[in-house]
Chain A
Amino acid sequence: MTLRKTPLVVAGSAALLALSACSGGDQKAAAGGPITVEATDTACTVSATTANAGNLSFEVTNKGTKVTEFYLYAQGDRIMGEVENIAPGLTRKLTIEVPDAGTYQTACKPGMSGDGIRGAFTVTGGAGRKTDTNTQLADATKSYATYVASQSDALLTETQKFADAVKSGNVADAKARYAPTRTYYERIEPVAEKFGELDPAIDVREADLEEGQQFTGFHRLEKDLWVTGLQPDSGQIADKLVTDVTTLVNQAKTIQLSALDLANGAKGLLDEVATGKITGEEETFSHTDLWDFQANLDGSKAAIQSLRPVLQERDPQLVSEVDIQVKNVQTLLDKQRSGDGFKYYTELTQDQIREFASAVDALGEPLSKVAEVVAQ
């Protein structure tokens, strides 16, 4: 058949295709793929009841005997999206753009009638939270404070055990405990650094000692354990370490951090790695630098995680960038794992160190913009 379409039909087709093409929009990949909905004659099981604002994808499967419909309603039963004619056995997809945070309702309508089987659905982030940005920032600091508290508790417990091992002269046990214990400290280092004299007392390196400053803390014990053997005053140093850490932990729990502190902390931790850890100067006696490295990355990730809702709203591009670079650094670290921990720094080749350095620099790039975004 010769299909002599009239210009009008052609124009109509073109317009429709263009419409469907341009409204594709930028697909913000929902974490974990589409939300699945299992509809039966009596139930409507939605795999997730919360989602971030943006394009939500639903995949509705009808496992009942009646034809069903699926709706997403906003307040007052305003229809955000619907898919009709879901015959039994059929799976149909529905993508809905939901720009605003708020409370929504999902509904399956077996038999395509009535109000349907409703379920609450919460959408977070998005433009709807614009006015609420202070709450978001407060949530971020609250969530990070929880992280700091959990790490501090572990730090105190582990430091106590480490000190006990030193005092009982059990060198092997103390050596084994050294790096894992420091992990908790390194994770919250930006917070520790806020306490003036405490940080140097706990974490000073021998090379950085100032005139007349006593060499105390972790690194002093590190030297004793790995280089000189335990000294007569090692026990006192260990006791002092526990006292200092206890003071730090108590202060850390009461400190009021701002979102900006989190952002700067995330960046600070990475700078730590870039300037100190990557050179192998931090753990110059034990060579457990990669443990610190991992801990710094953990702390940085935790701060970003707390800030995520704010960042996601203000600069989603930046969040993806950070995520990608974090993953890169983590991949490199994972390659160097050995047993419960890592290889010693001295076992790394120059090439591997260079690789680390460039991955860390690449992560520092987007991290340095985080503070700016938070300060907006």
Chain B
Amino acid sequence: MLFSSLLIGLREGLEAALVVSILVAFLVRTDRRSALRWVWPGIAAAVVLSVGVGAVLTFTTAQLSFEQQELLGGSLSIVAVGFVTAMIFWMRKASKSIAAELRGKMDNALAIGPLAVLLLSFLAVGREGLETAVFFYAAVQSAQGGTTEPLIGFAVGIAVAIALAYGLYRGAIRFNLGKFFTITGVLLVFVAAGVLGYGLHDLQEAGFLPGLHTLAFDASAAIPETSWYGALLKGIFNYSQQTTVLQAVAWVAYVAIVLPLFLRRPAVKTTPVVAGTKE
């Protein structure tokens, strides 16, 4: 009971925490701490908005229709993919300048506006924020009804996600810079591919895109989303146990296009170890 709620919290919190931690690590490593002050308002805005709308949906008769919900989630996901993709290439550019021993001269390459940092943080957190907030309220209401386990589990899950992300951040800033860029970049490619697939799946569920029941594979038995490893995979890479053909094609296409683009003329001599595919 507690554990399954914990996994939900972990899953919902992980992706946002991950993207934010990579962003923060990146800004710290590239001596752009000044941009850090844009991260927190972005996160705060997303949290406030999610919690606010979640409250409206929970405590009033207002409701989002299923289509509105999925359209919102799906479109935000696809916008987020755009941003994460931009961030990947921005990192690549940065890593090239680093490889070129242009340390301290990175400002041009890193001409990232505060707005971009803010929006990326906002999107990373806000994308799943609404569902998370509504879940949180349901957990609170159940807690008032005498079942505190879901709430505790959920809170612990979020905390674990943040701890993992912090660990990643600590680890990441210990890598040498070139490696850091490559590894986090590759990681982000897969994260973004997952977000893209997830967003498309939302749009399929809402009926905007066809083929909801045309599955590429069904790994419900092998890697269930309700297991801890399934939850981790879902949290980080948006793995879904039942993947539609459209989702799979989009995922493969994204990785096939973006990964080589990111890795061509690698900035560092060591060829990076490409993380295994999702499945």
Residues of A within 8 A of B (CB): 1, 3-6, 8-9, 12-13, 16-17, 19-21, 23-25, 27, 55, 65-67, 77-82, 84-93, 95-97, 111-114
Q: Hey, which chain B residues are within 8 Å of A85, CB to CB?
A: 8, 12, 131, 135
Interchain CB contact under 8 A, B57 and A88: no
Cα–Cα, bound, A45→B60 (Å):
26
Cα–Cα, bound, A15→B258 (Å):
32
Q: List 27 A-B contacts (CB under 8 A).
A: A1-B40, A6-B115, A8-B115, A9-B45, A9-B49, A9-B118, A12-B49, A17-B52, A17-B53, A21-B56, A23-B62, A27-B61, A65-B1, A67-B226, A79-B66, A79-B212, A80-B66, A82-B66, A86-B138, A87-B8, A89-B150, A91-B142, A92-B134, A111-B224, A111-B226, A113-B241, A113-B242
Interchain CB contact under 8 A, A112 and B225: yes
Q: Hey, which chain B residues are within 8 Å of A91, CB to CB?
A: 138, 141-142, 145
Kindly provide the distance from the CB of A26 to the nearest chain B CB, expressed in whole angstroms.
9
Interchain CB contact under 8 A, A90 and B64: no
Asked if B139 is at the interface of the complex by the 8 Å CB criterion, the answer is yes
Closest to A89 in B: B147
Sample of 6 further A-B pairs with CB below 8 A, known A88-B4, A91-B142: A1-B44, A9-B122, A17-B53, A93-B58, A112-B241, A113-B226
Cα–Cα, bound, A98→B214 (Å):
25
A89 is contacted by which of B63, B131, B149, B205 (Cβ under 8 Å)?
Answer: B149
Q: Hey, which chain B residues are within 8 Å of A97, CB to CB?
A: 65
A88 is contacted by which of B1, B56, B207, B213 (Cβ under 8 Å)?
Answer: B1
Cα–Cα, bound, A78→B150 (Å):
30
Interchain CB contact under 8 A, B205 and A87: no
Q: A67-B8, A111-B224 are in contact. Are A90 and B147 (CB under 8 A)?
A: yes
Closest to B66 in A: A81
Cα–Cα, bound, A7→B54 (Å):
21
Cα–Cα, bound, A161→B206 (Å):
65
Count the A-B residue pairs with Cβ separation under 8 angstroms: how many?
Answer: 136
Q: Hey, which chain B residues are within 8 Å of A67, CB to CB?
A: 4, 7-8, 226
Q: A67-B4, A84-B131, A112-B226 are in contact. Are A95 and B241 (CB under 8 A)?
A: no
Closest to B41 in A: A3
Closest to A22 in B: B62
Interchain CB contact under 8 A, A24 and B122: no
Interchain CB contact under 8 A, A88 and B145: no
Kindly provide the distance from the CB of B248 to the nearest chain A CB, expressed in whole angstroms.
17
Q: A17-B53, A113-B224 are in contact. Are A87 and B5 (CB under 8 A)?
A: yes
Q: Hey, which chain B residues are within 8 Å of A65, CB to CB?
A: 1, 4
Cα–Cα, bound, A17→B50 (Å):
10
Chain B stretch 118-167: residues in CB contact (< 8 A) with chain A: 118-119, 122, 131, 134-135, 138-139, 141-142, 145, 147, 149-150, 153-154
Q: A87-B5, A87-B8, A90-B138 are in contact. Are A20 and B207 (CB under 8 A)?
A: no
Q: Hey, which chain A residues are within 8 Å of B12, CB to CB?
A: 85
Interchain CB contact under 8 A, A78 and B207: yes
Closest to A61 in B: B142
Q: Hey, which chain B residues are within 8 Å of A4, CB to CB?
A: 41
